[in-house]
Amino acid sequence: MRPGFYISRVRARNFRNFEDLDAELGRFNVVIGHNGAGKSNFLRIFSFLKDVVDRGVADAISRQNGRASIMTRGSDDRSLYMEFHFDPDRPIPVFRSNADCKILADRIVYEFEVTFAGSGYEVTRDNMKISCRGSEAPAGGVSIYRSGGKAGLDCNFTGDVSRIKRLLDTLTSDMPVDALLLESRDLIAAVSPELGEFLNNMGTYDLHPSKLKSSNGIGGPPRLMSDGSNISSVIRMLEGSPDQLRELVLLTQDFHPSVSRIKTKTCGDGRLKLLVEESHIPDVLDLTDASDGTLNTIAIMVSMFYNSNRFTAIEEPERNIQLGLLTKLVEFMRDASHFNQMVVTTHNPCVLDSAKQDEILMIIRDDAGRSLMDVPHNHKMVKKFNDVMSMSELMGQKLLG
């Protein structure tokens, strides 16, 4: 498997109900918390990051319904700050075609800050820090930054980095003052194609059967949309790769053994319809007849294995899936996380108890209504009652926070 990145840490200040968030992540992460704690807003951090990469920071703010919705209520601070730590599975070459010495990155930290004024905003921080080692220095770092719309480069290597500086100037010369470094796909690809692959293949999902069953439009993007409403278009694309489609059927059969075929049909008006064949039913089921659990399972498998994702966040993936199958679902998600970092939220005790303790993150609210991230694995009650109570029992007894 080709080495890639994952997000090992995320910090956010003044994003929705997170006044000051600092969370460490692994390859597979299960986020728990009581209703209204902030689980959905935690996933919105990654939706925001995806929107910055795909659309730019201005559109990303608009898609969060603007400043009034994105900023922490009651805060006097007018700035939104985010920081992401991207760790490779093993050190990865950076600037591989533009450096005179081989530079290996073991972490890339990207941070930005936008400060709101009136109806607009100003980019007040925009930095990418690459922790690395090279052939001419045992350890070091490279920092790329923008200030006042102009890019700069700091490097403590002794080698010649003039080509990197010229490349940086070329790739950022036409960037608007209010844009972020992360918006330049050419720049990210020049730094590390693997980081570009990660950022360009992020998916966040909130799958509902009603949206999945409405999936019969003409065409549509080839990647599964956040609500799954274009599932028919995605399956139509997979029909061009019969081996992948057969694999999808086999994965679905692990949860719903009667499913024998998944296919699409073009209706008379040119619209697509998703069809599911089940061995015990003589008629082919279209979307509106297939069970909610079957549709959810198909969409989850697509998001994990057939969407080219390197990061996938799913809100309550256990919806409509039989209780006895949830342990298997967690195992599938954990397997997928080796190449596709997974972050899922849950209310379900079975999902919680199927997760390993160090895979669990918990969001709680303080007395002021701010959301905080807790790590149950380090909680004294978990250590005290670990041998006699499950995580769901500890949570049900309100011993986790």
pLDDT at 154: 84
Stated as kind and residue range, the H or E segment containing 124 is strand 120-134
| Tens digits of residue pLDDT in 160-173 | 667 777 888 888 88
d(CA 21, CA 371): 8
Q: What phi-psi label fits residue 270: left (phi over 0), alpha (psi between -120 and 50 degrees) or beta?
A: left
pLDDT at 138: 45
371 near 21, Cβ under 8 Å?
Answer: yes
Domains and CATH numbers, the chain: 1-201+309-401 (3.40.50), 209-308 (no CATH)
pLDDT at 170: 82
Long-range contacts of 253-257 (CB under 8 A, 24+ apart): 254/328, 254/332, 255/293, 255/297, 255/321, 255/322, 255/325, 255/328, 255/329, 256/291, 256/293, 256/294, 256/297
Any bridge partners for residue 88, and if so which?
Answer: 5
Residue stretches of the chain with pLDDT short of 70: 1-3, 97-101, 133-140, 157-161, 215-220, 281-288, 377-391, 393-401
pLDDT at 160: 66
The identity of residue 199, as a single letter, is: L
| Tens digits of residue pLDDT in 273-301 | 888 888 876 666 666 678 889 999 999 99
pLDDT at 388: 47
